[in-house]
Chains A and B, each alone.
Chain A
Amino acid sequence: GDQVEQSPSALSLHEGTGSALRCNFTTTMRAVQWFRKNSRGSLINLFYLASGTKENGRLKSAFDSKERYSTLHIRDAQLEDSGTYFCAARTGGYKVVFGSGTRLLVSP
């Protein structure tokens, strides 16, 4: 079936540094959404992309349907960025397939 492989599963960053999360898809997806799970357990929308790139502050995301991947770049990481990040891909139908999440810890 449709699968999403998200990496890394865990990531540690020092404040001010940056890195990238990645989701690879086993099939062509129509769109991808990135979420962050906050301290209360709520899934907070970060980006929705049907193609191309989007940027919001220190976050930038890209989605390439043809190459079957999406990335989420974090730059100048802050302590409050800590949390679990998920990608979720929209298949051709109504289904949404989630990645397994990346646990990000930002330390001083």
Chain B
Amino acid sequence: DAGVTQTPRHEVAEKGQTIILKCEPVSGHNDLFWYRQTKIQGLELLSYFRSKSLMEDGGAFKDRFKAEMLNSSFSTLKIQPTEPKDSAVYLCASSFRQSAETLYFGSGTRLTVL
């Protein structure tokens, strides 16, 4: 029974590059979240999808961050252009029903922007 799968595990980018992070939610889950985790800010919500529809577009992250959910089993987070301050761990999580179910997290992608 596969959990949330995130790839790659690690990504190193030069400032100004475009990077795409990938996430496969737990099969059958219809809610998907993207978070950014830093030591200073903790866990920050970037995007939230319900049944592939974007419900939360990240507020302050809108300009360079774009999350998409092409189908119910795959989502991407694009950062364009990357900046050194984007260095963080990016986490994807899914749940079956947002109001009543456990969140399952992937192992995350550690992004380093030079």
Contact = CB atoms under 8 A, between A and B. Distances in A.
Physical interaction between A and B? yes
Interface of A: 30-31, 33, 35, 40-43, 45, 48, 50, 86, 88, 90, 94-96, 98, 100-101
A9 to B, nearest CB: 12
Contact of B107 (A41, A96, A98): A41
B103 to A, nearest CB: 6
Interface residues of B, number: 23
A90 B105 contact: no
A61 B95 CA distance: 21
B91 A43 contact: yes
B105 to A, nearest CB: 4
Contacts of A43: 91, 105
B45 interface: yes
Interface string B85-114: 000010100000011111111111010000
12 contacts: A41-B110, A42-B107, A42-B108, A45-B103, A45-B105, A50-B100, A90-B99, A95-B45, A96-B33, A96-B45, A100-B42, A101-B42
